[in-house]
Structure 1
Amino acid sequence: MSRPHPDPSPARLILGSSSVYRKQLLSRLGLQFETMIPDIDETPLAGEAPETTALRLAREKAAAIAARSGPALVIGSDQVATLDGRQIGKPGNHTNALQQLQMMRGREVVFHTALCLWDGRRPDAATAAQLCNVQTLVRFRDLEDAELDAYLRIEQPYDCAGSAKNEGLGIAILESIRSDDPTALTGLPLIALTGMLRQAGVRFFGSGNADPQ
C-alpha cells in the first residue's frame, strides 16, 4: 500500500451528526472539523439485523453529507442497542427510559456502533467509503426501581439508546463494559476512526495534511 504524500492544504473534515456526544469525542483528536446534520430516514428496514441497520445508516449519513460537500472527509456513525436481538431505541421521555432500565437490569445489552468515513475526493463511490462496526457488551446492575428512577431524574439520558450515559453518572448503574474501543459506547469509536483517517492520509502528529492514496 502506497503512503499518502503531504498536501499543502489539510483535507476538509466533516462530522455528519447532530450529537453533542460525538462532537465532544471528535474534538479529542485536535483536528479542525465542521458539523452537518444528515437528513435521512433512520427507520430500520423490515427483517433487518441490528448490525446491518447500524452499518447502513452510518454509510447513508456519510453519503448524504458527502453529496453536498464536495472533496471532503465525512464521518457518519450510528448506534443500535439490542437485548435478545431486539432493537432498543432512544427512550425520549422518563417513562420509556424507566421501562428500558427495568427490562435491562441484571442483563447484558449489545451495542452496535457503526462507523463510516467517506472520502469525497475519490470519484468512485465504490471505493470512497471505509466502514466498520464495533460491538460493546454492557451488563446492567440489578437495581431497584427507586434507584433507577432517581438516576433518570438526575441525568435525564432520554436521547441515549439504553437510557444511560456511561460517560456520566450512568456508569454507576453498569456492572461491566467489554469492547475493543472504549469510546464506541459513547457513540464514536475513536480507535477505529483514527485508523480510517490515517488510511485517508490524515496525520495526527505533524501537519495533519491529507491526500488521497
Structure 2
Amino acid sequence: MRPLVLASGSLYRRELLQRLQLPFVCHSPNIDETPHANEEAVTLVQRLAVAKACTLRKQFLQHLIIGSDQVAVLDGQIIGKPGSRAAAIAQLQTASGRSLTFYTGLCLLDSASNRLQVDCVPFTVHFRQLTDAQIERYVDREKPFDCAGSFKSEGLGISLFRTTEGEDATALVGLPLIRLCDMLNQAGIEVP
C-alpha cells in the first residue's frame, strides 16, 4: 500500500482519519492561510488544501498526501476560530436561530505522479434559538476556542442545533471521509 501522509497538525483531523484504519503519518505544513482579496470560501479552502499537500511533496516523494482546510460562512462572511471566551460567545449569539455553512476543501496528492484530486464538501448547521445563558453554559463547558463557528459537533455542541444538512457529517469536523474514501479508491487504496 502507498504510504499516507495527513498534511495537518489538527487533532480533530487525525482522529477522523484513524476511523479508516489505514496507517498514516501526520506532518503539519507551514503555509500562509491568509485569504486573497475577494476570495470566495470554496476557492479559498480548495487552494489551501492543495497548498498544504503540495508543501510536503518534496519531503514525501512516493506518498499519497491528504490536505484539508475549512471555513465557516455566515451571511457571506467567513467566520474564523474565536480564540477566546468572549469571541466564542459573540459568534454563537450571532449564529443563534440562523444557519452556518462550513466549506471543507480536500486534496489528495500523489507525490510520485503529481496527480491531484481536489474537491469541496459543504455542510450546513441550522442553530436553535439560543439564550445567552445557554450559550455561556455551553462555551464554559466545552471551551471551543479553536473551532470555527465556536462549537464541537462531536460533543455537546450538537445540542445547539435544530438540524443539519449535508452529505457527509465528517466534513463538519474538518475531514470529509466519504469523499476521501472515493479519492483513495481512485488512487488504488481500497477502503475498506
- Normalised by the length of structure 2, the TM-score is 0.98
Q: CA deviation at 1:67?
A: 2.7
Query: Aligned letter for 1:193?
Result: L
Aligned to 2:77: 86
2:63 is matched with which residue: 55, 67, 72?
72
* Structure 2 alignment gaps of length 5 or more: none
- For residues 204 and 49 of structure 1, the distance between their equivalents in structure 2, rounded to whole angstroms, comes to 32
Aligned to 1:58: 49
Tell me which stretches of 4 or more aligned residues in structure 1 moved more than 4 Å: none
- For residues 108 and 27 of structure 2, the distance between their equivalents in structure 1, rounded to whole angstroms, comes to 14
Q: In angstroms, what is the RMSD of aligned CA positions?
A: 0.8
Q: CA deviation at 1:121?
A: 1.5
3-state SS of paired residue (1:87): strand
1:141 has 2:151 as partner? no
Q: CA deviation at 1:203?
A: 1.7
3-state SS of paired residue (1:185): helix
Aligned to 1:99: 90
Q: CA deviation at 1:92?
A: 0.7
- For residues 33 and 81 of structure 1, the distance between their equivalents in structure 2, rounded to whole angstroms, comes to 27
2:22 is matched with which residue: 19, 31, 46?
31
* Structure 1 alignment gaps of length 5 or more: 1-9, 206-213
Q: CA deviation at 1:69?
A: 1.3
Structure ID, larger Rg? 1
- For residues 55 and 120 of structure 1, the distance between their equivalents in structure 2, rounded to whole angstroms, comes to 18
Query: Aligned letter for 1:79?
Result: Q
1:49 has 2:36 as partner? no
The structure, 1 or 2, with the larger RCO (C-alpha pairs under 8 Å, 6+ apart) is 1
Aligned to 2:11: 20
3-state SS of paired residue (2:32): coil
- For residues 119 and 63 of structure 1, the distance between their equivalents in structure 2, rounded to whole angstroms, comes to 10
- Normalised by the length of structure 1, the TM-score is 0.88
Q: What does residue range 130-169 of structure 1 map to in structure 2 within 5 Å?
A: 130-169=117-156
Q: CA deviation at 1:88?
A: 0.1
Query: Aligned letter for 2:101?
Result: V
Q: CA deviation at 1:48?
A: 0.4
Q: CA deviation at 1:182?
A: 1.6
- How many residues align structurally? 192
Deviation string for 1:76-100 (max 9, x for gaps)? 0000100111000000110110010
